[in-house]
Amino acid sequence: MLRARAPAKVNLTLHVLGRRADGFHELDSLVAFAGCAADSLTLAPGADLAIDVSGPFADGAGPEAENLVIKAANAFGARARSAVLGRFSLVKRTPVAAGLGGGSADAAAALRLLAQVNGVALNDPRLVEAAAAIGSDVAVCLASRAAMMRGRGERVTPVAMAPLAAVLANPMRPVPTSIVYRGLGLQPGEMRASNPSPEPGADPIPAIAAGRNDLEPPALAHEPAIGEALALMGALENCRLARMSGSGGTVFGLFSDLRSARTAARALRAARPGWWIMPTTLR
């Protein structure tokens, strides 16, 4: 039995440079991964392919055939004909349709496990192509470490970044990614006058603060609870920056240290007991 973590992805910045002719949006995004918010995946290698899903957010992952773990395994199996697959068990601990790339992180974890079982390198073209076929965020989730993500998400450049202390908060309203992108109102082939996302320095927070998430306005228009989460997060003691991740609705707050992040998370839980709230490092 092999085991992999599927940590939540956080877009610390997300600049949309335009919309490509193929309909996907051209991104420039600083991405980091949570130390404490993660799904977990195990694989019992074998000839068949199956998955069981448990955990607090199991229902959101949808039917077996639609699970991105199964889709990733099938995409890899189609490219590596004699590959060993097997039975996956997924414990779904992160909210779904939350801007945390949950399904992408699970798919990437599945590909890492299949690479290990089949003796395939993580940069093997069959694995890279399978990742791209599943979703734009799967490539960055394969390494699960701080990186600049560009193009539709397939161009990933690791960055050295000091770990950040953060609080993640989700108002428990799923936000469909496609609706948020559509809300930008860009036509295929239309580029914007936009600056690239700043890369992090020794203290990453100033560079992050100089950037933005271009998906915030359309996400807030679709789901006003995100605006409430941003306001509550930003007002917490010692919060240095509050922003939405990905297409939402998860909001993150950055703090000077994990102790202040934990204190802030307790205060937010008391104010909004129905929300998913998690203090964590991001790296």
Annotated binding-site residues for ATP read 95-105
Pattern 119-158, ligand SUD, x by CB under 6 A: ----------------xxx--------------xx-----
Pattern 70-99, ligand ADP, x by CB under 6 A: --------------------------xxxx
* CB-based burial label for 184 (10 Å; 0-12, 13-18, 19+): middle
- The residues in 153-192 that bind ligand ADP, with binding defined as CB under 6 A, are 177
**213 alpha-carbon distance from chain centroid:** 14
Q: Does 104 bind ligand ADP (CB under 6 A)?
A: yes
Q: Does 27 bind ligand SUD (CB under 6 A)?
A: yes
Pure H helices in the chain: 68-79, 102-118, 125-134, 138-143, 177-182, 204-210, 216-222, 225-234, 258-271
Is 9 one of the catalytic residues?
A: yes
Find the part of the chain contacting ligand ADP (CB under 6 A) among 19-27, 60-68, 161-169, 271-279: 60-68
Is 137 one of the catalytic residues?
A: yes
Q: Considering only residues 35, 101, 153, 200, which one is a binding residue for ligand ADP as defined by CB under 6 A?
A: 101
CB 15 within 8 A of CB 3: no
Find the part of the chain contacting ligand ADP (CB under 6 A) among 42-50, 56-64, 115-123, 259-267: 56-64
Backbone angles phi, psi at 148, to 5 degrees: -90, 135
Q: Closest Cα partner for 98 from 134, 68, 60?
A: 60
Catalytic residue positions? 9, 137
